[in-house]
Amino acid sequence: MTTVVDSRLLNDVLRDILSPFDLPPVEDVATRRQLARALLSGRDNGFEGLALAYAVVAFSASTEDGVAEVLAAVRDNADVLVLDGTRGGYLLLPCAQDQHAGLARELHDRVGGEVWMAVAWAPRRDLASARATAADVLRIANGRAPGVYELRHVLADFAVLRQPHVSERLARMIEPVVAQQPLLDALRAFISEDGNRAAAARRLDIHRSTLDHRLRLVERLTGHRPASPRALLTLSVALTAHSCPEVPLPH
Amino acid sequence: MLFDVGRLLHEEFLPVYRAAADTDGWEDMAVSVAHRAGSRLASAKISIAHMVMALRSTDRLLTEAMLDDGGDARALAAAGTALAAELMSAFCAGDDGLADAVLAGSAPDGAAAFYTVVSVRGALPIRVVSAFRDRGPVLLATSGHLLLPAAEAAALSLCLDVQKEFGGEVWFSVAERPVARMALARREADEIDALVASLGRPPGVYRIDDVLLESAVMETPEARDELGKVLAPLLANPVLVETVLALLEADGNRAVAAKKLFIHRSTIDYRSWQIEQLTGLSPVNPRDLAVLGTAIGMGGER
């Protein structure tokens, strides 16, 4: 039933009931949702009134209120299409190339609370792959501070999640660190504080020399020295490879 | 097996020097004689130092003897060089073609259960082989790959020793697999070698772990494209590229990087700000800095 509505039937229905250059009215949430779903699945039937290219924003929030806030922020914009779920969803914002990050940041600034956004840009024909990218970026970003993320911010993690033989190897490498909570906490804090030892020690409420000692143990167990940016990236990606829960996004 | 290496070489090489002293056409003889002697010494597990010593004294004795008989000095020198080169190559190749057979994916009799393939850059494999031979068994394939019948961890420390001994500009890339899957190991070692070279990593010993991220990025089209977009605005600005590399080398320490570039600390901060404006990645964040470095390194690959 849904699939029929998704494709031809929806197209015909829309042609019939709408003036040719308009999207369904904002009140018609269900039809607009179907339209968003069709576009994000790569089924573009050439609806009139659509933009040539979109910023795909995959978002998630720690609470349902957070989701409601995001939806409220775009409610009055008739050009934005929404596919929402209980803990997150997708927004399609008409967008010129290279404007998507700014657009998403602007939106993020308007909502309070813990909200993560992953943004990718694509011409209308490539929205399915932009959606897949945004979903994976969001999944990785959920392990970091709330904010707006592009592929480049989680590039290494993204590539490794797409290459299972690499991610298995990294997960094995980091396993002995994960098995010891104090070491795991020390590494996580060091990563979150962008390699700032003093800040990481403060965050954990431990002495700086204790932190140094734990980081040395991490190096001994993994062969990667946290103070080196490349090695820290490897360790951070290994943590992602070890555990990166799926984000509940609508299908 | 104990025997007199000097005597063996003397007996085998004498006809070649004799031929070189008064006729042409000694070349083929030299190749087959030296090859036979080299393989025999290799299977007798003679140390390379021992063999080199014997080779030197054999060459001196035979050359002097032939010169005394009025032989042509130039031909004798050429024969001596040909014999030495051929002897070394047969000696280092070890059991005739075993390395090639193993790399080709067959597991012939006498092969170990698994090997670590070593890809060598910056030194002649034949010279590297002798350094390894002093420490244990090693095979040299005609492709220039070394095969160590050892697990990666053991091979790694061996490689580090040899790398230190050579000092300077030598890179080893290693990969271990069971003997049945050596083709994979060879491909992996070559891939690591190519990445290490294009990323401009310093001389050393590299495993797949050291270039895992780069190799994952190379295999993921979306990530590769994105890296290209990160890099594009930097390429127009060599000073920013230089800044990223200096920061990476300084482990992200801006004061150290500034000193290295002979610029003021505030200049580094300004450039970092420019880099962030252009790429959306902040050199102050170590993970972003590493991604910037990867983008620059991969730029050489394109």
**pLDDT value of position B26:** 83
Task: Please check the confidence at residue A244 and state whether its pLDDT lies above 60.
Answer: yes
User: Within an 8 Å CB–CB cutoff, is residue A142 touching chain B?
Assistant: no
Mean pLDDT of chain B: 86
Question: What is the extent of the structural domain holding A60?
Answer: 2-160
Query: Tell me, what CATH number does A186's domain have?
Result: 1.10.10.2840
What is the mean predicted confidence (pLDDT) over A186-196? Answer: 94
Say if residue A185 is in the same domain as residue A149: no
Say if residue A118 is in the same domain as residue A193: no
> What is the fold, at CATH topology level, of the domain defined by B220-299?
Arc Repressor Mutant, subunit A (1.10.10)
Q: Which residue has the higher pLDDT, A23 or B16?
A: B16
Question: Can you tell me the ipTM of this complex?
Answer: 0.85
CATH architecture of B99-216: 2-Layer Sandwich (3.30)
- Dihedral sign, Cα of residue B107, residue B112, residue B113, residue B117: negative
A228 closest CB neighbour out of B251, B281, B294: B251
Please list every residue in chain B whose beta carbon sits closer than 8 Å to the beta carbon of residue A156.
Answer: 213, 216-217, 287, 290-291, 294
**pLDDT value of position A19:** 45
Asked if B223's CB is within 8 angstroms of A162's CB, the reply is yes
Say if residue A23 is in the same domain as residue A132: yes
How many domains are there within chain A?
A: 2
**pLDDT value of position A21:** 52
Give the pair of three-digit tokens for residue A12. 């015909």
Say if residue A44 is in the same domain as residue A114: yes
Task: Please check the confidence at residue A4 and state whether its pLDDT lies above 50.
Answer: no
Query: Of A104, A137, A160, which closes a domain?
Result: A160
Say if residue A109 is in the same domain as residue A16: yes
Residue A51 lies in a domain: yes
Task: Please check the confidence at residue A174 and state whether its pLDDT lies above 60.
Answer: yes
- Residue-wise pLDDT tens digits, B217-229: 988 999 999 999 9
CA distance B265 to B207: 36
Please list every residue in chain A whose beta carbon sits closer than 8 Å to the beta carbon of residue B215.
Answer: 163, 166
Find which of A156-160, B43-47, B102-106, B195-199 is predicted with most confidence, using mean pLDDT: A156-160
Query: Tell me, what CATH number does A65's domain have?
Result: 3.30.70
Residue A69 lies in a domain: yes
Asked if B291's CB is within 8 angstroms of A159's CB, the reply is no
- Residue-wise pLDDT tens digits, A135-152: 999 999 999 999 999 999
Output the CA torsion A66→A72→A74→A76 (10° steps): 180
**A227 — pLDDT class (breaks 50, 70, 90):** very high
**pLDDT value of position B302:** 42
Please list every residue in chain B whose beta carbon sits closer than 8 Å to the beta carbon of residue A223.
Answer: 209
Mean pLDDT of chain A: 87
Say if residue A128 is in the same domain as residue A173: no
- Residue-wise pLDDT tens digits, A94-110: 998 888 999 999 999 99
User: Within an 8 Å CB–CB cutoff, is residue B232 touching chain A?
Assistant: no
Say if residue A121 is in the same domain as residue A167: no
Query: Of A104, A131, A160, which closes a domain?
Result: A160
Instruction: Identify whether the C-beta of residue A126 lies closer than 8 Å to the C-beta of residue A104.
Output: no
CA distance B239 to B283: 14
- Residue-wise pLDDT tens digits, B86-117: 888 777 765 557 888 888 877 777 788 889 99
Number of other residues whose CB lies within 10 A of the CB of residue A108? 19
**pLDDT value of position A14:** 52
Instruction: Identify whether the C-beta of residue A147 lies closer than 8 Å to the C-beta of residue A117.
Output: yes
- Residue-wise pLDDT tens digits, B160-191: 889 888 877 899 999 988 888 888 889 889 98
Residue A247 lies in a domain: no
The domain locations on chain B are 5-93, 99-216, 220-299
CA distance A38 to A2: 10
Asked if A169's CB is within 8 angstroms of B208's CB, the reply is yes
Say if residue A74 is in the same domain as residue A176: no
| Mutation to test the A interface, candidates B287, B288, B289, B298, most A Cβ within 10 Å | B287
> By CB neighbour count within 10 A (0-12 exposed, 13-18 middle, 19+ buried), where does A45 fall?
middle
Say if residue A200 is in the same domain as residue A131: no
